Amino acid sequence: MTDAAMVSPRGEVKGRSLWADARRRFLRNRAAVAGLVVLAVVTLLSFGAPFLGLRAPDDINWDMISAPPDYAQGYYFGTDQNGRDLFVRTLYGGQVSLMVGLVATLVSLVIGTLWGASAGYLGGRIDNVMMRIVDILYSIPFVFFVILLTVAIPRNFIAPTMLMYLAIGAVSWLDMARIVRGQTVSIRRKEFIEAAHASGVSSWHIITRHIIPNCLGPVVVYMTLTVPAVILTESFISYLGMGVQEPDSSWGTLISEGVNAMEVAPWAVIYPSGVMVVTLLALNFVGDGLRDALDPKDR
Amino acid sequence: MKLSIRKLLLPAVAACALLASVSFAEAEMVFHRGNGAEPETINPHKSTGVTEANIEADLFEGLTSYAANGELIPGVAESWEISDDGKTYTFKLRQNAKWSNGDPVTAADFVFGLQDAVNPNTAADYAPILDVIVNAQAIREDTEKDLSKLGVVALDDHTLQITLNGPTPYFLGLLRHPIAYPVHKATVETFGDDWTKPGNMVSNGAYMLTEWTPQASLTYVKNPHYWDAANVKVDKVVMYPTEDLAEELKSYKAGELHATYDVPSEQIKDLEANYADEFKNTLYLGTYYYVINLTKEPLGAQSDLRKALSLAINREILTEKITQGGEAPAYSWVPPMTGYSQAYVSFKDMPQDDRVALAKELLAKHGYGPDNPLNIELLYNTSENHKKIAVAAQSMWKAIGVNATLRNEEWKVYLETRDKKNFEVARAAWIADYDDPINFLDMFLSNAGERNDAGYNNKDYDELIAKTATETDPAARMKLFTEAEQLFLNDDPMIPIYHYTSQHMVSTKVSGWEANILDFHLARYISIAE
Amino acid sequence: MLSYFIRRLAGAIPTLFLIIAVSFVLVRLAPGGPFDKERKVPATVEAKLIEKYHLDEPLPQQFARYVAGLAQGDFGPSFKYPDRSVSELIGIGFPVSLTLGLSAIALALAAGIGLGIWAALRQNTWIDYLCVGTAMLGIAIPNYVFAPLMTLVFGLMLGWLPVNGWGEPRHMVLPILALAIPQVATITRLTRASMLEVLNSNFVRTARAKGLPEMVTLLRHTIRAALLPVVSYLGPAVANIVTGSVIIEEIFRIPGIGRYFVQGAINRDYTMVLGVTILFGALIILCNLIADLCYSLLDPKVRYD
């Protein structure tokens, strides 16, 4: 196995060359770089919105209720049914949506990868117990679970936006754990792992230095599926009217407000969902680029 | 691998084939109507919503009924006499009124029906509106165990006498509420709670239930035994639960529905412009308002501050730009009603600029201003429409220097918060159960309990309302109501925002649909051209 | 194998029990009750109802009563729909939801695996880009945007299919598509990614080098191994479709049970929320179990003993 050759008996990866290599590969992938640029622009605009000298997101213009885009007056995305600037609201909504995606995915990445790799590597009874726990959490239809949480926990107790971060984060690591475990189970019998084990390398070391790097391909691919999935989940719950609440808005709340008037005010759904779709696409391209860059088998 | 996928596919394919074999047979004249939501129950004594009332009005008939234009007309009772003191009603029932199984509808059926409605074991939410009948309240509160003590007596098969506690001019209108519909004794006794199921139900209206698939449709067909069956044109009515208004409208435009339950407010402007013949929009007996919690400071103690909040709300702009459904800007609590002259808030005729100036002045008087803004919290329940109005109100208050925080709660939480008076200002609304001012004004009696969401407590007001209960002259009674409402509005315990309108799309194929303030459209008046 | 299956099935019972307990506590934790209404229910009426539904008992006792009922297949009375029991409503709605969900899963698997394999075999050609591009759009566009858009275009503008309703095959096309498309997209990507990985792996190279005919190589090694992540994804896919059905059923006016969940949660129809959650939970447990079995069938290295 080529991988075994890359690893010294003490299990130290030659990090510098691997990451430098990966960066070079990533930068050569045009779609991925374009995705990264788009992502950076959306993120900067969203979080920089308060400093751009735009209208306030709650400014009402009574003469521009549900008005189509008007470049002369600077309403690039038109206005919503309260006469508020949709461009500004989309940017502010991006803050919430991106934060939900980021927080939940980080949780998913850290907990899920460690959990899945440990279960898969250690095997036997421990695997059984660990995956049983995942199964149990899994089998609660998790959006239902989030909805029940938003119903059960009063809004004056915790802000709906905060609750969204926590609730989605708490449930979104499960998929990752299963995928990583599946990969680990098939990796753990490979010779280089057995060799490492035989030479007395600790389990923790094997998991973090051998198993996880070798799972990175599927993990990165799955992660790029998780961020959009999380953003979509938040928007789904907001669509049901149970997620983020005024004065906050997210892409999900904006789209759900727009979707009812699709026939008469298409801009109210096209622009926010356009921004969301472009962002999700960019995330996917970046993810694919990362996968190709990190794939050890292509080296 | 292949096997497992095929295994997964099989049940789906089988299910598809099964469904394909089911198809609908079209009857002669069918009326497809959007009806908002899945009916919770079609037991007229237990139901509470508009959705259910629409169905029950077709399936059942009370002593009085609705004309196509909503006016009160004789129902099962063909005539009645009212005693001079206004307390005793004697109804003559139609000889030819029949149940859907052919049994005659008798006075005993109404005795049974009204007894069932107030019977504490029925646990009817709406039983209190029958409290005007002698002993009704005692029976429903379980202090009087003998149902026959209820002031409803069958003098003979076709003569019914109802005795009331006091003169009640709206009593005839109340009799067309579902709570006063008769139910078929033998059926109820045979099937228990299951009597409302298709196949079991026996009803006395123009239609009888044939099919009820939850969340899909509820179907009823013409009742051949109905006394006026000869004039009933539509053979079959299908009511659909249409929760998603945007989809309901599409379904209507695609020709799947003849009439909609409602229309999405976002699209009203477009419908008015492009579907003028089909868009029906008329005033409805309801008021949308912001109630102020009088038990909380500083708003509770300072009527000036409450008034300032009310002054700042530009109702014209709100109804024109936000709700857009032709709602009437509200300056009174009781909506426009025949025979009643509304009282108004003091500033009704003041231009908005002056109102804003006055509001600022009132705030300044109590030390609030740009340096020391008044902070309030506005509570509303989760809904796109409530949100839009709250956001607008927030910005209008901002203009007079009031900082409003929006607090959004999900329906049941909101109800609890409101009942516990845990709010400062809250969105609320009331739709009339029957067309009489008392239905609005009795809410703010000091002994109305949780219903009195402002915590309003005014002895003079209580006395005025009490007086109306014994007033036999209808005009004098209405004057007392106006006086009471004026007293109430002068205290500014609420900010009336608009009086509701009802909105429907009705196909040009449909005739006999008359817009009316009660928004009842019985299928017996409808006919459909093909 | 069989003993493993039975053991897992038995293991599902505590899982299900936990779901019931967690959901029970959560719905009961929620402020407000089933009888809170805009028009206040008279005190005597509320007392009667509370007594009738045993809501006055301590929670553990209510829970025991509920579980005892469940053991006999009784989901309890519906608070919101007093004319019917939860079992009756679920009995009517579940076959509809199941038909919808299974059709969507079947479509998602067939289309997703097919497209994924195709794209991988034609890597870096226009076919690949088309499949990947479509898949990405399918993941990115939320189905509550996609569904109304489809009813608008195919139902209203083109008039090819009914806008909503249920009962005939033509009613099923749009909702099944709306439910399946995000899953098709995900499965396409997963299949493609793992196919590429396997195609580039040593054992496939060795097989090719040995001179085995291409098709045999593909079938014997590649697809089998490449499907592992897809099989892992089966559980989440079912869960996603179940969740999606909540809004798809409402948008298309389909009489399934997904609609009852949100309504039940908002109206504090405790038994209804629990019934739907338990049923969907059981369904997902079952699908996870099936996925695990498929996994062991596909990957000879994984043994359950």
Q: Counting beta carbons within 10 angstroms of the beta carbon of residue C63, is it exposed (0 to 12), middle (13 to 18) or buried (19 or more)? A: middle
* Residue B254 located in a structural domain: yes
* Residue B198 located in a structural domain: no
| CA distances for B449 relative to B406, B453, C43, angstroms | 26, 8, 11
Contact B215 C93 (CB under 8 A): yes
Query: C137 is written with which tokens?
Result: 């759009």
Reported confidence tier of residue A155, pLDDT bands at 50, 70, 90: low
Same domain, B315 and B350: yes
Contacts of A159 (CB under 8 A, 6+ apart): A248
Same domain, B175 and B254: no
With CA atoms as reference, report the closest residue to C179 among C114, C255, C99: C99
Task: State residue B18's pLDDT score.
Answer: 41
Strand partners, B378: B406, B425
Contact B317 A265 (CB under 8 A): no
Q: Do A57 and A92 form a contact (C-beta atoms < 8 A)?
A: yes
Q: Is the torsion defined by CA of A44, A50, A53, A55 positive or negative?
A: positive
Task: State residue B148's pLDDT score.
Answer: 93
Task: State residue C225's pLDDT score.
Answer: 74
Same domain, B233 and B349: no
Instruction: Give per-residue pLDDT as tens, A93-105.
Output: 999 889 888 887 8
CA distance A98 to A106: 12
Q: Evaluate if residue A45 carries a pLDDT over 90.
A: yes
Q: Is C261 touching A (CB cutoff 8 A)?
A: yes
CA distance B137 to C200: 83
Q: Is A12 touching C (CB cutoff 8 A)?
A: no
pLDDT tens track, chain B, 530 positions: 333 433 444 444 444 444 444 444 445 899 999 999 899 999 999 988 899 999 999 999 999 999 999 999 999 999 999 999 999 999 999 999 999 999 999 999 999 999 999 999 888 889 999 999 999 999 998 899 999 999 999 999 999 999 999 988 899 999 999 999 999 999 999 998 899 999 999 999 999 999 999 889 999 999 999 999 999 999 999 999 998 888 899 999 999 999 999 998 888 989 999 999 999 999 999 999 999 999 998 898 899 999 999 999 999 999 998 988 889 999 999 999 988 999 999 999 999 999 999 999 999 999 998 888 999 999 998 888 899 999 999 999 999 999 999 888 888 888 888 888 889 999 999 988 888 999 999 999 998 888 898 999 999 999 999 999 888 888 999 999 999 999 999 999 999 999 999 999 999 999 999 999 999 999 999 999 97
- Residue C22: its chain A contacts at CB < 8 A? 140, 145
Report strand pairing: B217-222 vs B236-240: antiparallel
Contact B409 A155 (CB under 8 A): yes
Same domain, B263 and B343: no
CA distance C68 to B441: 48
Q: Do C15 and A135 form a contact (C-beta atoms < 8 A)?
A: yes
Boundaries of every domain in chain C:
96-298
- Residue A263: its chain B contacts at CB < 8 A? 267, 270
Same domain, B346 and B329: yes
Residue C148 or residue A210, greater confidence: C148
Query: B186 is written with which tokens?
Result: 């033998």
CA distance B110 to B179: 11
Concatenated DSSP letters of chain C? -HHHHHHHHHHHHHHHHHHHHHHHHHHHHSSS-TT--SSPPPHHHHHHHHHHTTTTS-HHHHHHHHHHHHHTT---B-SS-TTSBHHHHHHHHHHHHHHHHHHHHHHHHHHHHHHHHHHHHTTTSHHHHHHHHHHHHHHHS-HHHHHHHHIIIIIIIS-SS-SS--SSHHHHHHHHHHHHHHHHHHHHHHHHHHHHHHHTSHHHHHHHHTT--HHHHIIIIIIHHHTHHHHHHHHHHHHHHHHHHHHHHHHTT--SSHHHHHHHHHHT-HHHHHHHHHHHHHHHHHHHHHHHHHHHHH-TT----
How large is the average pLDDT for residues A136-141?
Answer: 67
How large is the average pLDDT for residues A250-261?
Answer: 86
Task: State residue A296's pLDDT score.
Answer: 53
Same domain, B170 and B250: no
Count Cβ neighbours within 10 Å for each residue of B403-429 and write b for 16 or more, e otherwise.
Answer: ebebbbbbbbbbbbbbeebebbbbbbe
Task: State residue B349's pLDDT score.
Answer: 92
CATH number at residue B216: 3.40.190.10
Contacts of B15 (CB under 8 A, 6+ apart): C95, C98, C99, C102, C103
With CA atoms as reference, report the closest residue to A298 among C202, C116, B284, C200: C200
* Residue B1 located in a structural domain: no
Q: In what order do the strands lie in the sheet with B30-34?
A: B30-34, B236-240, B217-222, B207-213
Q: Evaluate if residue C303 carries a pLDDT over 60.
A: no
Same domain, B115 and B27: no
> Any idea which fold A38-298 has?
MetI-like fold (1.10.3720)
Residue C5: HSE in the Cβ half-sphere, 13 Å Cα cutoff? 11
Q: Evaluate if residue C263 carries a pLDDT over 90.
A: no
Give C194→chain B minimum CA distance, Å.
16
Q: Is C1 touching A (CB cutoff 8 A)?
A: no
Same domain, B524 and B480: no
How large is the average pLDDT for residues C29-44?
Answer: 80
Same domain, B433 and B459: yes
Q: Do B305 and B373 form a contact (C-beta atoms < 8 A)?
A: no
Task: State residue A1's pLDDT score.
Answer: 37
Q: Does domain C96-298 have CATH number 1.10.3720.10?
A: yes
- Residue B126: its chain C contacts at CB < 8 A? 39
* Residue B274 located in a structural domain: yes
Q: Which domain holds residue B320?
A: 284-503
Angle between helices C143-150 and A251-259 (to 10 degrees): 20
Chains sharing 3 or more CB pairs under 8 A with chain B: A, C
* Residue B4 located in a structural domain: no
- In the stretch 170-199 of chain A, residues with CB closer than 8 A to chain C read 175, 178-179, 182-183, 185-186, 189
* Region at A153 (left for phi over 0; alpha for psi -120 to 50; beta for the rest): beta
Instruction: Give per-residue pLDDT as tens, C200-244.
Output: 777 667 766 776 666 566 666 677 777 887 887 887 788 888 888
CA distance A114 to B381: 42
| CA distances for B123 relative to B168, C44, C203, angstroms | 24, 8, 73
How large is the average pLDDT for residues A129-147?
Answer: 73
Q: How many CB pairs under 8 A join B and C?
A: 182
Task: State residue B490's pLDDT score.
Answer: 94
Q: What is the 3-state secondary structure (H, E, C) of B446-497?
A: CCCHHHCCCCCCCHHHHHHHHHHCCCCCHHHHHHHHHHHHHHHHHCCCEEEE
**Which chain C residue has the Cα nearest residue A181?**
C232
Contact A246 B387 (CB under 8 A): yes
Reported confidence tier of residue A26, pLDDT bands at 50, 70, 90: confident
- In the stretch 232-251 of chain C, residues with CB closer than 8 A to chain A read 232-233, 235-236, 239, 242-243, 246-247
Rounded to an integer, what is the distance from CA B330 to the centroid of its chain? 18
Report strand pairing: B159-163 vs B152-156: antiparallel
Same domain, B95 and B232: no
Same domain, B322 and B417: yes
Q: How much of chain A, in percent, has pLDDT values that exceed 90?
A: 11
Rounded (10°) CA dihedral C32, C33, C37, C41: -120
Q: Do B387 and A241 form a contact (C-beta atoms < 8 A)?
A: no
CA distance B165 to B358: 47
Q: Do B385 and B265 form a contact (C-beta atoms < 8 A)?
A: yes
CATH number at residue B154: 3.90.76.10
- Residue A136: its chain C contacts at CB < 8 A? 14-15, 18-19
With CA atoms as reference, report the closest residue to B209 among B221, B227, B193: B221
Same domain, B510 and B499: no
How large is the average pLDDT for residues C123-137?
Answer: 83
Domain count, chain B: 3
Instruction: Give per-residue pLDDT as tens, C68-102.
Output: 998 888 888 888 888 888 999 999 999 999 999 99
- Residue A245: its chain B contacts at CB < 8 A? 382, 406, 408
